[in-house]
Amino acid sequence: MELSVNGREAYVYTGGRTFDASLPTVVFIHGAEHDHCVWVLQTRYFAHHGRSVLAVDLPGHGRSAGPVLGSVEEMADWIVALLDAAGVGKAALVGHSMGSLIALECAARHPARVSALALVGTAFPMRVSDELLGATRDDEPLAQDMVNIWSHSAYAQYPGNPGPGFWVMGENLRLMQRQKPGVMHADFVACNAYANGAAAAAAVKCPALLVLGKRDIMTPPRATKELMAAMPQSRKVEIAGSGHALMAEKPDEVLEALVGFV
């Protein structure tokens, strides 16, 4: 579905169903250098199980017009502008990686608009090493390889993928290569610069769920202590055998964790 958000064209995937604002709405927010299709094995399910789905392409990503927004805070406000454009009052937010920071910040800034918060593959602070940040600026193909390799558990290089016939690392690499030059650097700068996570978490009053990969080395489960402490109402699900690319490596487990929560 195409929407006009802040005067620019934005694409949202609605899970294979016509969007219906009268149903409880779940917004899915992808991470850095990605688009809506990272959620393909979760979103379609919700759209056919009593929810309306808005799986966004963030500005400058996938089919949405640019420019890329430079900070987590701006992207958080953009999510609310998107809810306005879709005619949705309140929605559950599900975010992955950079998208989890956007969802967190959005829930803190706009508590009246967010009913529940699910953070998948999250960490705060989400520091990016100088080496990777430099590569996103100077050598995107190298940075894409770094992120692709570090995002998948050691075993994901030979996984036995539940999506028959797909090679998850190949798919992920091609998806990153589809994003426009410069997007990757802007996204990683935004993750690295985001400083408001602990304060935002303390301000979040809605139910919160963290879905973490036990083998995640990009956002390791131990890097969520501060967030969990600031959100006493939060709960976490750790998924065995998954790295940072949880929705591809363990699609059913991520889905089960979200069912009943959003």
- CA-wise closest residue to 98 among 52, 60, 42, 142: 60
Q: Is 89 one of the binding residues for another protein (CB under 8 A)?
A: no
Report how far apart, in Å, the C-alpha atoms of 5 and of each of 10, 80, 85, 91, 195 are: 6, 10, 6, 17, 26
When the beta carbons of 234 and 242 are compared against another protein, the nearer one is 242
The least CB distance from residue 170 to another protein, in Å, is 4
Residue of 146, 198, 206, 237 interacting with another protein (CB under 8 A):
146
By beta-carbon proximity to another protein, the closer residue of 34 and 113 is 34
Q: Which of residues 4-63 bind another protein (CB under 8 A)?
A: 13, 16, 35, 37, 40-41, 44-45, 48, 62-63
40 vs 203, beta carbon nearer another protein: 40
| Side-chain half-sphere CA neighbours of 207 within 13 A | 12
Which tokens is 11 given?
């694409």
Produce one character per residue of 153-166: b if its CB has 16 or more CB atoms within 10 Å, e if not: beebeebebeeeee
- The interface region with another protein, picked from 84-92, 102-110, 114-122, 159-167 by CB under 8 A, is 159-167
For the CB of residue 141, give the shortest distance to another protein in the complex, in Å.
12
Q: Which stretch binds another protein (CB under 8 A): 98-106, 115-123, 140-148, 189-197?
A: 140-148
Neighbour count for residue 121 (Cβ, 10 Å):
28
Q: For residue 183, what are the contacts with CB-CB under 8 A and spacing of at least 6?
A: 33, 60, 61, 68
Contacts of 17 (CB under 8 A, 6+ apart): 47, 48, 52, 53
Task: Give min distance, CB of 229 to another protein, in A.
Answer: 26
For the CB of residue 199, give the shortest distance to another protein in the complex, in Å. Answer: 29
If binding is defined by CB under 8 A, does position 65 make contact with another protein?
no
What residues line the site for another protein (CB under 8 A)? Answer: 13, 16, 35, 37, 40-41, 44-45, 48, 62-63, 129, 145-146, 148-150, 155, 157-167, 169-171, 174-175, 177-178, 217, 251-252, 255
